[in-house]
Chain A
Amino acid sequence: MSAQAPDPLATGSSPQGSWTEGVSASAGSCQRLAPVSGRYEGEMTGPNPGRYLLDLRVDIDPRYPNSPVLDRISGDLYQLFRFRWPFGGRPLSWRIYRESWIVESPLVQWSACQVEVTGRVRYYKGNHPITELHLVIPWRTAQPIGPAEVTFREVGGSSAAFKCDKRSNAFRELRLEVDVCASVNAPPILPAYDTHAHPVRPHDLPQRTLTIEEAYREAGVEVTIEPQHSLIDDSAAEFASWTPAELHDAMEQHFSQIRGGWPKWNLWCLLASTFEDPLVGGIMFDASATYGGAGRAPERQGCAIFRQHPWFAALTAGDAPATAQAEAQRKYLDTLVHEMGHAFNFLHSWNKGRPDALSWMNYDWRYDNRNGPESYWSNFRFRFDDEELLHLRHGDRAAVIMGGDPWASGGHLEAPVGALSELQGEAPVELLLRSKGYFQFMEPVAVELRIKNIADLPLELDTQLAPEFGGVVLYIRRPDGRVLEYAPVMCQLATPKLEVLQPEGRSVEGEDRRSQNVLLSFGADGYYFDEPGEYLVRAMYQGPGDLLIPSNILRVRLGQPFSQEEERLAQDYYSYETGLALYLQGSPSPFLQKGRDTLRAVNERFPQTPLGAQLSLILAQGLARPFFRVQEGALVKAQEADPKTALELTAQALAQHKRDETTFPNLTYHALRRTRANLLAQVGEVEEAKKELNTLVRYLKGRGVNPPVLEEIQQYARTLGATA
């Protein structure tokens, strides 16, 4: 709700010089020559000065012609980190995105020299106490607006304050890179359309020349188009049309911003010839294959416009000499703004239950089918509808930013805080998640966590990466969209495993990093991977001091059951007993007998598959050592080790890996060979054990594993010989 909101911009006036025409809210010392609305940014002033940063969006007065005011306040919160070396060196700083919020019904009080805004804060995710926002933005004649003084007060008394300087009259900023295929490299490269060029239009439509920048400026986004366009040679003899996969591949090769961390406010657009379906004039190809996209995460990074589509046959640069040229110019602008809208995570209007929306996201012919011939262009005012503007300007950051939420997905309203954290700036440490990507149905899901020093100086870090030790927290987004924090069955208290990691490139290769395999299938909440489909995994590493490093997002796919028998076995497999037996590596505890029996049954049923091989290794590890239990107050050996059976099981696993080398990633293959070496040594075959380790070294060397790892295995082989 606004009180005394100024209305200084007459709709239809020229965008240029709107505020220099003498718009003022007050005479004397408080003459305001700019809108209050726009983007502000500033650090926390209390209670922890400099620890957090607020990106604030204020949308309470007209900031531009033809741009509605939405009466909302919103913002994104970041945590700030600074790293100083003890003995000098270049200081590093980075920020991690934490969360977004919105005030949906602000109470706005305008006065001569300031505006005061209050309202209830709604956070898009996580649980928060009831929080009230208090915002004051002052102005003085001939001075910049602000700074904005922002206070968040929680029920119970705690509060946080920020001081934010005004950065822009827009709410978001985007950099667009446009590359061009040689076959369509003709002007106009970018669209420009005089809104009065075509006779079919609203009678009171303000005349202006719309470009991508102008259309998005009216929507609230400042788009900067990179001035250079790469030229892509598409003259290959047999090439006829583009597929989503080829477009994605072209983006990976030509988009200058594709490397580095995502999400970010960057977008790539290719002007190409023809899509595989020649009736498609443009596509935001970077989405799930289910929706017709390339199926490669992160999504919403790129789009393409097909200049040889009949829509653009009459396209000319400059003034349109006739209606046909005006129509082509209008459609060219429409298609580009529309595809960029998809990249901001917009669906089509009719998919949102608004088939009669006069929006860039509707189809003209769909609207006309419902409302009569030419009704769309007779009424369309060259804008997004209000709900879309709300998303674009004030939506949950992950749902809007390119490379954030997958296209057409929701806003993660239930996600735990931290699950979607991302890093911006320079951090001294990199945390990488990787896995083999595809896992057979019921196959145990393990991921590799790798920590690496990417700074200039040696760094002492806790290299214990298993979540049981508390230094790493993992988040899993399931196929149904729920985000869960991985809770290990056991929590282990131990002194940190501190190791000095050398700077990258200034030491023996591999001394800058440590890796660890972590089984994520089962935890305190039960099975995390039990439904076929796509999962996203992310980790947060908490190092010494306040070092907090998020990982990349790892995509994992769990396959479908292939038979009714597999589905029936899954009922026993996805039980608590089996999960715990899996987690405890085939523990011989009598309490887990039933679970172990199920693991064995599945192993026997699927011997020549990755699932069977993984279970062979787990069951072998359970048999590799004797099992002790407390009986009548004393520790007694309840079960002897069974190295012979364990060796048979590992031989099965090895045979499977020979058939299919994707069965075990390096770390698991290492565990398999080392388990076999230990078992062979146990039965007195020391020379065979050493051969096993030598084979392991050769294999890993062939796969590019770094020398320190190979040296450690060779050292272990020598120790094995000495003790035998």
Chain B
Amino acid sequence: MWDLRGKKDHPISPQPDERFTLRIDLQEGFARDAVAIKLNGKPAFSKKQVSTQLLLGKADSFTTAIAPGPLRIDLEVKTRKLQETIALQAEGNMYIGVSIVGDRLIYSVADKPYGYM
């Protein structure tokens, strides 16, 4: 799996009150699953019956604003007892795609939104 962690060539020094967009897309492999996501230990997303729409390869998503700096994302698919933690440095807008492949949660990070068709 490929991701963009720490890949920014020219990190921009954030202003003190600057906020970035974090969007997490739940993509492939979900089938009536209960999903919970925490950001820096605080519940940010919780939904039951999350299913991937085969037409688009996407199940659900949520967007929030985050402050620059370290970011810890805890992903949990309760229905399958799957967990994953992502540790990132927020230096700009971030788009994270999460999929279930077999018995694993995998993710990718990009600096522009994923598109679907």
Q: Which residues of A contact B (CB under 8 A)?
A: 277, 279-285, 287, 290-293, 309-311, 335, 338-339, 342, 347-348, 350-351, 363, 365-366, 368-370, 372, 407-408
Contact = CB atoms under 8 A, between A and B. Distances in A.
Contacts of A339: 117
B28 A335 contact: no
Given A287-B55, A293-B55, A363-B57, A338 B2 contact: no
A283 B28 CA distance: 17
B55 A365 contact: no
A372 B2 contact: yes
A350 B1 contact: no
Contacts of B55: 283-285, 287, 291-293, 342, 407
B114 interface: yes
12 contacts: A277-B56, A281-B115, A284-B55, A285-B55, A287-B55, A290-B51, A292-B53, A348-B54, A363-B57, A366-B57, A369-B97, A372-B2
B2 A279 contact: no
Q: Please list the 10 inter-chain residue pairs (A to B) with the smallest Cβ-Cβ separation, ordered nearest first.
A: A292-B53, A292-B55, A291-B54, A282-B117, A369-B108, A281-B117, A280-B116, A291-B55, A369-B2, A281-B115
B80 to A, nearest CB: 19
Given A283-B55, A291-B55, A310 B117 contact: no
Interface in B57-110: 57-58, 61, 97, 108, 110
Contacts of A290: 51, 54
B114 A283 contact: no
A335 B25 CA distance: 20
Contact of B117 (A287, A338, A368, A370): A338
Contact of A350 (B2, B51, B57, B114): B57
User: B interface, how many residues as a size bin?
Assistant: 20 to 34
B28 A292 contact: no
A144 B76 CA distance: 65
Contacts of B56: 277, 280, 283, 292
Q: Which of B1, B28, B54, B110 has the most CB of A within 10 A?
A: B54
Given A280-B117, A365-B114, 17 more contacts: A279-B25, A279-B115, A279-B116, A280-B56, A281-B117, A283-B55, A283-B56, A283-B117, A287-B55, A290-B51, A291-B53, A291-B55, A292-B53, A347-B54, A365-B115, A366-B57, A369-B2
A348 B115 contact: no
A310 B57 CA distance: 19
Nearest to A280: B116
B53 to A, nearest CB: 3
A370 B1 CA distance: 6
Q: Is the interface of A mostly helix, strand, loop or mixed?
A: mixed
Q: Which of B2, B25, B56, B58 has the most CB of A within 10 A?
A: B56
Nearest to A293: B55
Given A293-B55, A342-B55, A369-B108, A277 B2 contact: no
Given A291-B53, A347-B54, A281 B108 contact: no
A491 B51 CA distance: 47
A292 B28 CA distance: 13
B22 to A, nearest CB: 14
Contacts of B113: 279, 310
A284 B108 CA distance: 26
A366 B110 CA distance: 11
Contacts of A279: 25, 58, 61, 113-116
Contacts of A350: 28, 57
Given A283-B56, A291-B53, A365 B110 contact: yes
A369 B51 CA distance: 22
Nearest to B25: A279
Contacts of B57: 348, 350-351, 363, 366
A506 B54 CA distance: 50
A283 B108 CA distance: 23
Contacts of A351: 54, 57
B2 A368 contact: yes
Nearest to B115: A281
Q: Which of B51, B53, B110 has the most CB of A within 10 A?
A: B53
Given A350-B28, A372-B2, A277 B54 contact: no
A292 B54 contact: yes
B54 A309 contact: no
Nearest to B56: A292
A281 B116 contact: yes
B115 A311 contact: yes
B30 to A, nearest CB: 12
A277 B113 CA distance: 12
A287 B53 CA distance: 11
A311 B112 CA distance: 11
A228 to B, nearest CB: 26
Nearest to B4: A373
A574 to B, nearest CB: 26
A309 B115 contact: yes
Contacts of A347: 54
Q: Which of A285, A290, A292, A347 has the most CB of B within 10 A?
A: A292
Contacts of A311: 115
A290 B54 CA distance: 8
A424 B18 CA distance: 64
Contacts of A338: 117
A370 B2 contact: yes
B94 to A, nearest CB: 14
Contacts of A285: 55
A335 B117 contact: yes
A348 B116 CA distance: 11
A277 B117 CA distance: 11
Q: Which of B54, B97, B110, B117 has the most CB of A within 10 A?
A: B117
Contacts of B25: 279
Nearest to B28: A350
Interface in B1-32: 1-2, 25, 28
Contacts of B116: 277, 279-281, 363
A350 B51 CA distance: 17
A560 to B, nearest CB: 14
A380 to B, nearest CB: 15
Contacts of B2: 368-370, 372
Contacts of B110: 365
A244 to B, nearest CB: 9
A348 B27 CA distance: 13
Nearest to B51: A290
A239 to B, nearest CB: 22
Nearest to A375: B2
A10 B101 CA distance: 42
Contacts of A368: 2
Contacts of B97: 369
Given A283-B117, A311-B115, A338-B117, A369 B54 contact: no
Nearest to A347: B54
Contacts of A277: 56, 58, 61, 116
A256 to B, nearest CB: 25
Nearest to B7: A373
A372 B58 CA distance: 22
